[in-house]
Amino acid sequence: MRREAAIMILLTAFSSFLYMAEGQDTTLVRVKLIREREADSLKATEYLETAQRFSFISQNDSAQTYISKSLDIASEKNLTEIEAAGYELLASIYEIQGDWEETLRNYLRASAAYTKLGDKENEARILKILAWNYFRAGVYKKSAQYSEQEFILYGGKDPRMPASAAELAGRSYYYLPLDSLSARWYNAARFYFEKSKDTTGLLRCTDKLGTLYTRMDLYDKSYDEYQKLLSEYLPVNDFKNIASVYNQTGFLMFRKKDLNSALENFRKAVEMSEKGGSDDYFLTDVWSNIAICHQNFGNQTEMLRCFEKALQYAKSSGRNDEVARINRIIAKIYFNKGDNYHAEMYCLSCIESAKASGNLNVLQLCYRDYSDVLEKGNDFVKALEYYEKHLNLRDSLNYSDRIAEQERADDLAEYEATEQRIRNEVATEEIRGLELKTLRAESSRRENEIKLLINERALERSESDRLTQSLTLEKERYELRQREQEVRALQQQQAIDNLLMERKDRDSVALAQTNQLLEKDKLQKETELKNERLARQLSVGVGSLMLLVAVIILFGLISTRKKNRLLAERRKEIEKINADLEVMNSEILKQKEIIEQKNQSITDSIQYASRIQSAVLPPIGFLNSWGIDNFILYKPKAIVSGDFYWGVKKQERIIIAAGDCTGHGVPGAFMSMLGHAFLEEIVNTRDITDAAMILNLLRDEIINTLKQKGLTGEARDGMDISLCILDMNTGKLDYAGANNPLYLIRDSKMIKYEADRMPIGIHFISFTPFTNQAIKIEKDDYLYLFSDGYADQFGGPKGKKFMYKPFQDLLLKNHNKPMEVQKEILDTTFEKWKGERDQVDDVMVIGMKI
């Protein structure tokens, strides 16, 4: 019984050990997964820190390599914080290298990651970086937008942060210039600077508000701001800033026509500046202001004295442009007084100083004034020479200004297009990343399930092997004990035999038979006893062995049933997940079918609209029927187009227009239909044949139809257009344009006729009439009308705009070729330049040979 109890205790302990081992093994799998994630995070962080060390010593290639390794791990393991930090570091490296596109792309990626984390503080910090980048590039509109977004994100936290964002927004609007918006943001900045007890920032905003209110003719508000500044500077004897405030107050009073107050403040500015240490640069401006006050008083002597004073300070401060400006004013004073000698002397000084300063605008004015002086002195040849210098330099400056304005507009459009394209790319990357992460998560989940199943199978096999080994070991121990018992029995029997042999020798021969009988009886009894003992031992051993086998089988059945139950539950979970996935797939397919049906319906409607638009537009060859050799390259971006062409023949006059409406696709097509309909009404119904008058009336119709009021935030829909009226009898061409110019090629030289810089639609100069340009047309002249879609197309090896100069060169190079060949060259060049990129806008080019 003791042996049986021991066996039962052994089996119970063994089975408990197996159960604990199974639970411990499952826990170890989970711990391993957690440790793997921690290890991935640590590795990605180490790569990022290494990249940062390389970036500090300007080894940017190595830094980018380690950032890429970090981002690969972070993306695969969904470590969003590390992704955000990696993209931000990468953006800063590209910023140092001057690669704006990659800088913007990676800052936007970092911003998206911080948004996903709900980290508003870091998201706002990225917006601040982008705002300052745009501000330094002179793209003030974008700078203002990002500063406003930054301000909103900071909310009610540390007031220094929204103060900084509001101030940059105010500065951006100041330079646009949009004074009312600038003042609004400077007021917001001042509020938060005051809240954060930042006196320097508060005074900076107050100073700017004084200037803004003066520009906006809000003189009382401006005066109040300057008084606030004086209340801060006067108690601490900050003479330099006191002088600056008095000078600005004087300018304010001058604007109000209060000359006495203006003069008083200017004199106080001089007094305070001298107390604080004379500033020649500043005193140049103040003495000029005092002189202008005396000019308005009619005090010529005092005016000249003050200008001479300003001239001395300008020379001392090395301000050659101011020296030139003041010399010119003094020269004009002497000229008006009839003192030609002094007028000529100061004019020559003005020219010398203007050349030294490089201020070409002042120089061309000096040339004109000197020409007047020479003419008055009867030196007509030299007067004409300097007047021609004035005209040439003025025209050159005007052309440079127009080119610079166009370049600024192109830069802004390129910045906006680049940012929108990169935003779209980042959004697409994010969607793809989410899909990839979902697939990875699903794959990881299934891998973990498989690992658990494999571990369970291995555990079952291990348990079976351990039971088998235990059973074999117990069997060997039992056999060993049996052999030991048999040996001891044989040894005892041998001892008894020896004793009997000894007694046999001592007994007499007489008792031999009796002893033999007794020996036989004893042997028989011992044999029976031995047999009985062996039978009992055998029955106990067999019973114990059977009990052991029964217990092993029982625990095996219990363990197997438990695992079968767990497997069944997991199988049901997997079947349920698969069923849910099938339902989701089915729902996705249904939604996809609905979307495809809607898309098809929309596409059919747009196709129908395209047929309507095509029916309304003149046929491509309409100019051929009027005897004009021509081509029309017409390439809508979408099915329908915002570009349109229009023409009509009235007696011997041919009227042709090429319009480019706001937007493209369906919105642009609506505008083009409006433009077409209004042109038909103005020309055919009202019988208007003056080019500028047609555009004036077209603008009125568009503004009235769209109910445009010119309010802030209102949509500025409209169109750019070029319109020509060709008189076939006289050879005269009248041209008027809204933003779109006309190119004329004559004798292999291109002449560009500029359009008025305003659209057909609401504009800050909406009521300025359009102008006619009369052109004498000669035989074999080539005329070209076009929209901006060709020049604005992104492409080429660097993904840049085609631009107008290459477009002009292309027209000039091929103008002698047949019209259809020109059209084919333009089309082929456009497609080659565009490559695999999307077309960014509608394209239209009309060429005509006279």
Q: How far apart are CA 819 and CA 88, in angstroms?
A: 53
In this structure, the answer to whether residues 585 and 642 fall within a common structural domain is no
Bridge-partner residues for 654, per DSSP? 649, 726
Provide the CA 566 distance to its chain's centre, in angstroms: 51
Is residue 257 situated within a structural domain?
no
The domain containing residue 795 runs over which residues?
A: 617-849
CB neighbours (10 Å) of residue 409? 12
Q: How far apart are CA 716 and CA 113, in angstroms?
A: 34
The residue out of 614, 636, 668 marking a domain boundary is 614
The per-residue pLDDT for 769 is 86
List pLDDT tens digits, range 830-845: 999 999 999 999 999 9
**Residue 699 identity (one-letter amino acid):** R
In this structure, the answer to whether residues 607 and 739 fall within a common structural domain is no
Closest CA to 129 of 159, 104, 163, 162: 104
The DSSP call for residue 739 is B
The per-residue pLDDT for 823 is 95
Is residue 761 situated within a structural domain?
yes
Do the Cβ atoms of 135 and 116 come closer than 8 Å? no
Q: Which CATH number goes with the domain that contains 817?
A: 3.60.40.10
How do beta strands 719-727 and 732-738 pair? Answer: antiparallel
Task: Name the percent of the chain in helix, strand, coil, to the closest 5.
Answer: 75, 10, 15
In this structure, the answer to whether residues 657 and 693 fall within a common structural domain is yes
Q: How far apart are CA 94 and CA 316, in angstroms?
A: 44
Is residue 364 situated within a structural domain?
no
Give the H/E segment covering residue 736.
strand 732-738
The residue out of 595, 614, 633 marking a domain boundary is 614
In this structure, the answer to whether residues 709 and 598 fall within a common structural domain is no
Q: How far apart are CA 308 and CA 140, in angstroms?
A: 39
Is 0.85 topped by the overall pTM?
A: no
Is residue 263 situated within a structural domain?
no
Task: Please state the φ and ψ torsions of residue 639, each to the nearest 5 degrees.
Answer: -65, -45
One DSSP character per residue, 231-290 reads HHHGGGT-HHHHHHHHHHHHHHHHHTT-HHHHHHHHHHHHHHHHHT---HHHHHHHHHHH
Q: Can you give the C-alpha Rg of the chain in angstroms?
A: 49
For residue 400 the two structure tokens come to: 């440079």
The per-residue pLDDT for 6 is 38
Q: How far apart are CA 654 and CA 270, in angstroms?
A: 68
In this structure, the answer to whether residues 640 and 686 fall within a common structural domain is yes
Q: How far apart are CA 607 and CA 596, in angstroms?
A: 16
In this structure, the answer to whether residues 805 and 685 fall within a common structural domain is yes
Closest CA to 587 of 595, 599, 576, 575: 595
Structure-token match 């020896």, residue found: 498
Helix, coil or strand: residue 797: coil
In this structure, the answer to whether residues 732 and 610 fall within a common structural domain is no
Kindly give, in sequence order, each residue whose CB lies less than 8 Å from that of residue 517, ignoring residues fewer than 6 positions away: none
Is residue 694 situated within a structural domain?
yes
In this structure, the answer to whether residues 674 and 777 fall within a common structural domain is yes
Do the Cβ atoms of 742 and 785 come closer than 8 Å? yes
The residue out of 564, 583, 614 marking a domain boundary is 614
In this structure, the answer to whether residues 595 and 667 fall within a common structural domain is no
Q: How far apart are CA 216 and CA 209, in angstroms?
A: 10
Helices (H) and strands (E) in the chain, counts: 23, 12
In this structure, the answer to whether residues 760 and 683 fall within a common structural domain is yes
What total number of domains does the chain contain? 2
For residue 416 the two structure tokens come to: 């906006």
Q: How far apart are CA 386 and CA 364, in angstroms?
A: 9
Is residue 639 situated within a structural domain?
yes
In this structure, the answer to whether residues 547 and 636 fall within a common structural domain is no
Q: How far apart are CA 47 and CA 86, in angstroms?
A: 10
Is residue 299 situated within a structural domain?
no
Q: How far apart are CA 308 and CA 315, in angstroms?
A: 11
User: According to the 3-state scheme, what is the secondary structure of 257-269?
Assistant: CCHHHHHHHHHHH
For residues 282-303, b (16+ Cβ closer than 10 Å) or e, as one string? bbbbbbbbbbbbbbeeeeeeeb
Do the Cβ atoms of 130 and 146 come closer than 8 Å? yes
The per-residue pLDDT for 439 is 57
Bridge-partner residues for 460, per DSSP? none
Q: How far apart are CA 623 and CA 176, in angstroms?
A: 44
Closest CA to 78 of 33, 125, 122, 113: 113
The per-residue pLDDT for 709 is 67
In this structure, the answer to whether residues 564 and 603 fall within a common structural domain is yes
Say if residue 806 is preceded by a cis peptide, omega within 30 of 0. no
Is residue 793 situated within a structural domain?
yes
The per-residue pLDDT for 3 is 40
- Please list the ranges in the chain whose pLDDT falls under 50: 1-35
The DSSP call for residue 778 is -
Task: Please state the φ and ψ torsions of residue 760, each to the nearest 5 degrees.
Answer: -85, 100
The per-residue pLDDT for 704 is 86
Do the Cβ atoms of 327 and 314 come closer than 8 Å? no
